[in-house]
Amino acid sequence: MSEAAPLVSVVTIFLDAERFLAEAVESVRAQSHREWELLLVDDGSRDGGTEMARAWARAQPVRVRALEHPDHANRGMSASRNLALRHARGAYVAFLDADDVWLPEKLERQVALLDRRPEAAMTYGPARLWHGWTGRPEDAARDAEQDVRIAAGRLVAPPDLLPVYLGHEDAVPSPSGVLARRSAVDAVGGFEDEFRGMYEDQVFYFKIGLAASALVSREGWYRYRQHPNSAYAVAIRDGRRDAARRAFLDWALAHARHRSAPPAIERLVARERARLEPPGSLRSAARVVARRWLPPGARRVLRGIEDAFLGRR
């Protein structure tokens, strides 16, 4: 490999992804930036994906490595990405979900952006929301570009990404769109193993968004496959989304306090957490927020308004 261009460690975790895995890997092999290594982490697959990954590693042992947890265990998305990070050798880290694909210039363009902006810890651009992978014209007509809700080309200083992510989940990048400096990923401790599935990426973004700047591009370099068996779609269908978001927000509030985040970030996380409370719990949640953030005089006024509204006076 050339010494001129930085090595990018590409992390692809997979679980029973035989249907799409080859297309994801081929999009890595087609990259115009040739200095990459591919770490394929098998999170306990029971389909043909396991042997596919091992075969690629045997064929290209310098570039491709097949990893798995002891006893072929299923440990979840965060633990699987962390396993790859422990083996990664690159100055940059990119993540490619097993059901997504990159455009050929993805790594080249993102490496160039970070090389020009050393103050940026990571970069990303809008996803192509990809319905047309089915080959049906009616699905292709639904393809659209993600609205990242940040001015194109902007370097976003911490913690200014977090209000965007917390208030607009549709603006959060897929891991497949991100390129990050390995030093920045290590500085925040990578991913949190306790988050096995949903919101594991937002935990990572919250950590890095508190600590470092990000460069948001106007360019889109990846296709984010929309299909009913994705982890997010299954969680929505099974009714697990709200519980997963509550767990994320509880973690985020604790992390913000531990890291002495700006009070505005703590208030924002607490507000988003309160939105997920059942209606009967909202009053008690508001009291918790009021006790923490309002001065004594304002708390007395709030109690008076509540008593008058409820007919207690």
DSSP 197-243: STTHHHHHHHHHHHHSEEEEPS---EEEE--TTSHHHHHHHTT-HHH
Q: Please say whether the beta carbons of 223 and 128 come within 8 A.
A: yes
User: 36 has which bridge partners?
Assistant: 8
Taking the C-alpha atoms of residue 129 and residue 144, their distance in angstroms, rounded to an integer, is 5
Q: Which residue type occupies 283?
A: R
Taking the C-alpha atoms of residue 18 and residue 48, their distance in angstroms, rounded to an integer, is 6
Sequence-ordered alpha helix ranges (H) in 30-181: 49-59, 77-87, 106-116, 137-140, 161-167
Helix, coil or strand: residue 28: helix
pLDDT at 295: 66
Tokens describing residue 219: 């360019």
Tokens describing residue 133: 């992978």
List the one residue out of 208, 101, 131, 118 whose CA is nearest residue 165: 208
* Fold assignment, 8-238: Spore Coat Polysaccharide Biosynthesis Protein SpsA; Chain A (3.90.550)
pLDDT tens for the 313 residues of the chain, in order: 445 799 999 999 999 999 999 999 999 999 999 999 999 999 999 999 999 999 999 999 999 999 999 999 999 999 999 999 999 999 999 999 999 999 999 999 999 999 999 999 999 999 999 999 999 999 999 999 999 999 988 999 999 999 999 999 999 999 999 999 999 999 999 999 999 999 999 999 999 999 999 999 999 999 999 998 887 777 778 888 999 999 999 999 999 999 999 999 999 999 999 999 876 554 555 555 555 555 666 556 555 554 444 344 3
Per DSSP bridges, beta strands 120-124 and 213-216 are parallel
List the one residue out of 133, 160, 134 whose CA is nearest residue 149: 160
Q: Where are the domains of the chain?
A: 8-238, 243-309
Q: Please say whether the beta carbons of 132 and 225 come within 8 A.
A: no
Q: Please say whether the beta carbons of 256 and 266 come within 8 A.
A: yes
**pTM exceeding the 0.85 threshold for the entire prediction:** yes
Backbone angles phi, psi at 42, to 5 degrees: -90, 115
